Amino acid sequence: MSVAPEQGVPAEATASPPAVIVVGSLHYDIMVDAPDRPRKGETIAGRSWVTKFGGKGGNQAVAARRQGVPTATVGAVGDDSFGPALIAGLDRGRVDRTNVVVVSGIGSGMSVAIFDDDGDYGAVIVSGANLAIVPSNASAELLSRAKVLVLQNEIPEVVNEAVAHHARDLGVTTILNAAPARPFTTSLPDLVDILIVNAIEAEMLGGGAVSSLETAAGAAQRLAARFKSVVVTAGGDGVSSFDRSGRAFKLPGMKVAVVSTHGAGDTFVGTLAARMAVGDLFEAALSIANREAAKLVSTPEGKRQA
C-alpha cells in the first residue's frame, strides 16, 4: 500500500485560506429507487439506479463551500475507477482537496442506498480507503488557518481524536457529527465543542428516545453531561440544542414536501460549520442550517447541486 497526494486543485478553491476544514469520508454512492426497502430475506424489484458523489466528509465540505466559505477537505480515495469520480465531485463543489491522498491497493469508499416511496432510505457503506486516513494528513499548518473543524464517524476514531487534539491546541472550534453512532473508546468527547446527532444517534449515545422536538430537547440536555454543546436534529419536527451553561434553543421544522431525505444531515452540518466560521451567532447559524436542510429534502436528486 502506498499513498500519494492528489494533484491539480482548482485555482478558485485555493484562492483564500480555508475557514472550514472537513476531515472525513468520501464515498461513491449508488442510489437505488424502489417502492420499499427490503426486509430480511426479501427481494424487491427496483425502478432505477444512479451514481452520486458522497460520503459524509465530502457532502459536508460541499455544503460548507456552498455558503461561500472557503473549505478544504482531508481524506483518501483508492486507485480505482471510483477515485477520479470522487475527486471530480470535490472540484465541482470548489472544495480545496490538496490534502486528499490516493491510496494504492485499496478500493475507494462506496455505499449503496435504497430509497422508498416515502423519501426515506437505508444504506450500507464500505469504508475502503477512508480507513487509511492518518492524523498527519491534517497538518498543523492547515488547521492553524481554520475557524471550524468538522469530523464524523465514517473514519477511525483515533484519527478524529488526534486531529481534534491539534485543533484544540490551535483554538479551532471542533464539530463532531457522530454518525454512524458508535461507542467512544478515546478521549474524543472531551475535545469536541459541538456534538451533532440525529434522533437515532442521540438514542444510541444515551440521550433517550427522540420522537418530537420536546424529546429532542431532553436528549440534548442529557448528552450535554458529556459534551460541551449538543445539537439534536429531529427530522421534520425541528432542531434542539443545549450546552453546559444551560442555554437551550428549539427550532421547529420547516413544512416542506419531502422528496428525499438523503444528505439532509450533511447539508445541516456543513452549513452550520460555514455560518459559524464567518461569525454568525449560534442560533442564527442553526436557523440557516435548518433552512438549507429543508430546501434539500424538497429538491429532487437530479436537480441538486453536485
For the annotated catalytic residues, the residue numbers are 266
Nearest alpha carbon to residue 99 among 183, 23, 40 = 23
User: And the C-alpha cell for 65?
Assistant: 463551500
277, 20 Cβ separation under 8 angstroms: yes
Instruction: Say if CB 133 and CB 76 are below 8 A apart.
Output: yes
Contacts of 301 (CB under 8 A, 6+ apart): 31, 50, 52, 259, 260, 262
What does the alpha-carbon distance between residue 177 and residue 231 come to, in Å, rounded to a whole number? 9
Pairwise CA distance, residues 79 & 195, whole Å: 33
Whether the CA torsion 287, 289, 295, 298 is positive or negative: it is negative
Report the 10 Å Cβ neighbour count for 266: 28
